[in-house]
């Protein structure tokens, strides 16, 4: 199969779709300079993210966890949406994509212009208090590490979902509703191993919908998808926009 064949087929499915959604993982932001958890840039100092992004790690050493998050927040604040983020927003603007469901916490889909975004794992650019109901957005890295709540003095934590924590009920239910309506899901840049998020694209298949799987390497959805696009997210969406006659990004 030639390089353009999966793009041509994906464009055909998208044109004929009634309700298409996009499901994204860390790979969609890799080309914005944000390392994936499981890629070659997934280690910080000598720690694996899976050892730091847990309630137990925060309870044990909140300063260490916050030093890692300060590094990540700085990286996100300096990043910009890449062609994949911008193309997905363009597809929504054109009425071809109805919603974006993302496992990412970097906010780049919203920055690129996507409006109907379900952030399953929260946002690294928000904090919440571990003691009271205080929440706030971040415009810069906290000056105090670990930061404390201005209302009650409790420890603040990133407003993200850590390993071992449930997904926010409201966002999960929104994702289920979107997947339940969809007749096409474009899965982009995810290994498909983190549950329950990874099962959301399978809801689309369960009621007869189609799947396009965009990932340079095989993943959980390989063999299940109608279209396999073994390429980066930015490459795929740039070609897709051109195939659809929507220009470039």
Catalytic residues: 121
Cα separation, 215 vs 179, in Å, equals 20
Cα separation, 114 vs 108, in Å, equals 9
Cα separation, 27 vs 190, in Å, equals 6
Residues listed for the chain: 249
- 201 in Cβ contact with 210 (< 8 Å): no
Q: Provide the strand spans (E) within the chain.
A: 20-24, 99-102, 117-119, 122-129, 135-137, 156-160, 184-188, 210-214, 227-229
With 0-12 / 13-18 / 19 or more C-beta atoms within 10 angstroms meaning exposed / middle / buried, residue 144 is exposed
Cα separation, 117 vs 98, in Å, equals 9
Using alpha carbons, list the distances in angstroms from residue 207 to 65, 188, 199, 204. 41, 20, 13, 6
Q: Which residues pair with 188 in a beta bridge?
A: 24, 214
């Amino acid at each position: 199969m030639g390089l353009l064949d999966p793009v041509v087929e994906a464009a055909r499915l998208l044109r004929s779709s009634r309700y298409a959604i996009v499901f994204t993982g860390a790979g969609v932001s890799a080309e914005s300079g944000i390392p994936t958890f499981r890629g070659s840039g997934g280690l910080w100092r000598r720690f694996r993210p899976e050892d730091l992004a847990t309630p137990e790690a925060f309870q044990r050493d909140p300063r260490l966890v916050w030093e890692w998050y300060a590094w990540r927040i700085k990286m996100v604040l300096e990043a910009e949406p890449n062609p994949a983020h911008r193309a997905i927003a363009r597809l929504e603007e054109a009425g071809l994509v109805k919603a974006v469901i993302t496992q990412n916490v970097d906010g780049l889909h919203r920055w690129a212009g996507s409006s109907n975004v379900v952030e399953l794992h929260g946002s690294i650019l928000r904090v919440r208090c571990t003691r009271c109901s205080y929440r706030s957005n971040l415009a810069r890295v906290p000056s105090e590490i670990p930061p404390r709540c201005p209302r009650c003095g409790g420890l603040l934590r990133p407003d993200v979902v850590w390993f071992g924590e449930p997904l926010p009920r409201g966002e999960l239910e929104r994702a289920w509703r979107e997947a339940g309506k969809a007749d096409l899901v474009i899965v982009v840049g995810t290994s498909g191993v983190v549950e329950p998020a990874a099962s959301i694209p399978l809801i689309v298949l369960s009621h007869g919908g189609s799947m396009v799987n965009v990932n340079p390497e095989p993943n959980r959805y390989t063999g299940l998808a109608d279209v396999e696009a073994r390429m980066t997210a930015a490459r795929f969406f740039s070609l897709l926009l051109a195939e659809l006659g929507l220009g470039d990004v």
